[in-house]
């Protein structure tokens, strides 16, 4: 079941510009949302999260926006750096700690 969807398999941006990664979900019971970054041959690394009582959370260059009515969240990276090139997974969980992941978006930041 595709409860969390990342419709863009890949994204390419220029160094210094903004990267915007999108994620949609269908389960209205989800109340906690996360973004993970994954490099090849490594496990996913937690990046940033947001609970459903907020609509924005910021941590340095990374900002996550949540639109509950649209069941949509996005990750903004500003400015993008070549080291940000990785696969980004969106995840969502409900009160049962049942976490679902999107299929991932491969971000390439070009120097």
Supply the DSSP symbol for 54.
-
Structure token digits, residue 106: 């491969």
Position among 66, 80, 102, 107 found at the interface with other proteins (CB under 8 A): 102
Question: Minimum Å distance from CB 34 to other proteins?
Answer: 6
Task: Verify binding: residue 26, other proteins, rule CB under 8 A.
Answer: no
Cβ burial, residue 79 (10 Å; 0-12/13-18/19+): middle
Position among 69, 70, 97, 111 found at the interface with other proteins (CB under 8 A): 97
Per-residue contact flags (x/-) with other proteins for residues 32 to 71, judged by CB under 8 A = x-x-x----xxxxxx--x-x--------------------
Please report, for residues 7, 26, 37, 81, 111, the alpha-carbon distance to residue 19 in angstroms, rounded to integers and kept in the order given.
15, 24, 14, 10, 14
Compute CA 57 distance to the chain's CA centroid, rounded to the nearest angstrom.
Answer: 12
Please give the residue ranges that form the binding site for other proteins (CB under 8 A): 1, 6, 31-32, 34, 36, 41-46, 49, 51, 89, 93, 96-104
């Amino acid at each position: 079941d595709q409860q969390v969807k990342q419709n863009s398999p890949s994204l390419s941006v220029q160094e210094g510009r903004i990267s915007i990664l999108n994620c949609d979900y269908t389960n209205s019971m989800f109340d906690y949302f996360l973004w993970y970054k994954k490099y090849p041959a490594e496990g996913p690394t937690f990046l940033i999260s947001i609970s459903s009582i907020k609509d924005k959370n910021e941590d340095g260059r990374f900002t996550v926006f949540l639109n509950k009515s649209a069941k949509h969240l996005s990750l903004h990276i500003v400015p993008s750096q070549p080291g940000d090139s990785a696969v980004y997974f969106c995840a969502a969980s409900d009160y049962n700690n049942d976490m679902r992941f999107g299929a991932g978006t491969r971000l390439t930041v070009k120097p």
